[in-house]
Amino acid sequence: MPPPPPGYSAPGPSIWAPSPGLRTFLLVVLILNDLVTGLFALFGLLALADYLGLIGSDHTPGRPEDFVLIAVFVLLFVLSLAATIGVARRASWARVTAIAAGVAVSLTCLGLVLGIPILIAASRALIRQPTRA
């Protein structure tokens, strides 16, 4: 093998290596996502309770298909909460759940604001503790 040309230096470390500081950022964005989807789910569940006549006395009946959005936000909240708990506990399934939560929240209109940072941080964060040899 010929020697390297003059002025050649070895390439630096990979920029795609896991970053330990991104785990904290991921937790912050997931908690913000929990708050937003949790509020939407709560307001939806309150609307559902009003529709069923559980709260309030006067209500205008809505169509049952109007409550599909409520189910979507409840599922988004559960998925995001599971991802937050997994990342906080450093579980083996945390990265997959966080990426799924990022994809799911990205399907909503405002969700890209939170979904893209979740996807990037979940793919690069050092979620599990490195094993000591």
- The domain limits of the chain are 22-55+62-124
- pLDDT at residue 127, as a whole number: 82
What tokens were used for 20? 């330990």
Q: Which residue has the tokens 């509020």?
A: 39
Strand blocks (E) in 1-133: none
How many whole angstroms separate alpha carbon 20 and alpha carbon 130?
10
**How many whole angstroms separate alpha carbon 88 and alpha carbon 38?**
18
CB 51 within 8 A of CB 61: yes
Decide: 44 and 70 in contact? Cβ < 8 Å: yes
Handedness of CA 100, 102, 104, 107 (dihedral sign): negative
CA distances from 117 to 77, 82, 120 (A): 17, 17, 5
> What is d(CA 23, CA 124) in angstroms, rounded to the nearest whole number?
9
How much is the pLDDT for 10? 73
Q: Inter-axis angle of helices 112-124 and 94-106, to 10 degrees?
A: 160
pLDDT averaged over 10-residue windows placed end to end, the chain, 133 residues: 77 70 92 95 85 66 74 94 95 94 90 90 82 62
At 16 the pLDDT is 67
Q: Note the pLDDT of residue 116.
A: 93
pLDDT of 60: 62
